């Protein structure tokens, strides 16, 4: 029998919204509330032992620090391998981009896609049954858009608890538990940023970029490519046949999309 938890926390971030080949990257990690403090503490200890004094970010990966970033990624995936943390990544192939969108749909595209990510990527419809219901708390890296759109988005997230497809999951989402946070305060969210950034980097062929007038790649590009390869190797300890560019098929074990430690979702719009 799968263990049940009273509350889960989701930490989410976004990356490249307009890439050359792939766009609209969203990523997140879900962890039981009862385990979060221990997970965060282990990651912070590892970060301190490596010697990182500042926030971990994909954009800060350099030749000097790439080995340290690799060690952090291994520590993060150790949490996934333990079954405590699960991560999801969503993106959109530019060849499958929707056509004929209205101006309103285009303006609200960021939050509409973010909503789909939260609603479907984590397998909330298969959350282990708790007779008293399951609380869900969501932490988003600070939104880049207007306060009005952000408020509307949070309202839709709050309404997931009464969504027809999820009502049997008995989710409990308090409006005060849908918050924007500073990623500097959450090492787990920083690890999500690194993995998400690596996928946006590689899927858009940024590893091939060379400085203007040069025949070779820059040192930072080489370091990022090395870190991406390390991340992919860690992912494949969980999903050996994973193809980063396509959706990960659900495993045939209890829980399906909910139980999988790591998964990609290539979002395909109906229109």
pLDDT digits (tens, 9 = 90+) for 23-74: 999 999 999 999 999 999 999 999 999 999 999 999 999 999 999 999 999 9
pLDDT of residue 59: 95
How is residue 216 annotated by DSSP? S
Global pTM value: 0.93
Residue 2 pLDDT level (bands cut at 50, 70, 90): very low
Distance (Å, whole) CA 238 – CA 81: 7
pLDDT of residue 106: 64
Of 144 and 261, the structure prediction assigns the larger pLDDT to 261
Indicate the angle between helix axes 219-235 and 66-81, nearest 10 degrees.
20
Q: What is the largest CA-CA distance in the chain?
A: 64
Percent of the chain scoring above 70 in pLDDT: 93
Percent of the chain scoring above 90 in pLDDT: 75
Residues 225-264 have pLDDT tens digits of 999 999 999 999 999 989 999 999 877 666 678 989 999 9
* 138's tokens: 């969501």
Q: Mapping DSSP to helix (H, G, I), strand (E, B) and coil, where does residue 231 land?
A: helix
List the CATH code of the domain at 9-265: 3.30.420.10
Distance (Å, whole) CA 47 – CA 42: 9
Q: CB within 8 A of 205, min separation 6: which ones?
A: 20, 21
Of 158 and 1, the structure prediction assigns the larger pLDDT to 158
Of 255 and 75, the structure prediction assigns the larger pLDDT to 75
Residues 93-137 have pLDDT tens digits of 998 777 666 665 666 788 999 999 999 999 999 998 888 899 999
For the residues of 139-167, what is the DSSP string, one character each? EEEPPSS-HHHHHHHHHHHHGGGG-TTTG
Question: Are 28 and 121 contacting, i.e. CB atoms less than 8 angstroms apart?
Answer: yes
pLDDT of residue 178: 96
Distance (Å, whole) CA 71 – CA 43: 10
pLDDT of residue 103: 60
How do strand 22-32 and strand 86-93 relate by DSSP bridges? antiparallel
pLDDT of residue 189: 97
Separation in Å, CA 163 to CA 24, 166, 260 = 24, 5, 23
Residues 155-193 have pLDDT tens digits of 999 999 999 888 888 999 999 999 999 999 999 999 999
pLDDT of residue 182: 93
pLDDT of residue 256: 77
> In 3D, which of 148, 85, 91, 93 has the Cα closest to residue 114?
91
């Amino acid at each position: 029998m799968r263990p049940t938890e009273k509350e889960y926390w989701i930490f989410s971030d976004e990356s490249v919204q307009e890439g050359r080949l792939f766009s609209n990257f969203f990523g997140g990690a879900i962890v039981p509330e009862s385990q979060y403090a221990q997970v965060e503490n282990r990651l912070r200890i590892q970060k301190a032992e490596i010697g990182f004094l500042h926030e971990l970010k994909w954009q800060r990966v350099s030749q000097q620090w790439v080995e340290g970033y690799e060690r952090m990624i291994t520590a993060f995936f150790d949490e996934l391998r333990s079954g405590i943390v699960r991560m999801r990544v969503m993106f959109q192939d530019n060849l499958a981009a929707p056509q004929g969108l209205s101006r309103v749909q285009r303006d609200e595209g960021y939050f509409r896609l973010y909503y789909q990510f939260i609603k479907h990527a984590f397998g909330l419809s298969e959350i282990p049954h708790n007779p008293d219901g399951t609380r869900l708390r969501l932490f988003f890296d600070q939104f880049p858009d207007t306060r009005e759109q952000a408020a509307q988005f949070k309202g839709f997230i709050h309404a997931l608890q009464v969504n027809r497809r999820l009502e049997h999951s008995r989710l409990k989402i308090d409006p005060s538990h849908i918050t924007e946070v500073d990623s500097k305060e959450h090492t787990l969210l920083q690890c999500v940023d690194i993995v998400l950034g690596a996928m946006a980097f590689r899927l858009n062929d940024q590893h091939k970029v060379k400085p203007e007038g040069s025949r070779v790649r820059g040192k930072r590009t080489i370091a990022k490519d090395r870190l991406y390869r390390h991340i992919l190797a860690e992912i494949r300890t969980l999903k050996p046949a994973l193809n980063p560019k396509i959706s990960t098929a659900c495993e045939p074990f209890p829980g399906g999309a909910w139980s999988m430690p790591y998964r990609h979702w290539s979002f395909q719009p109906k229109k």
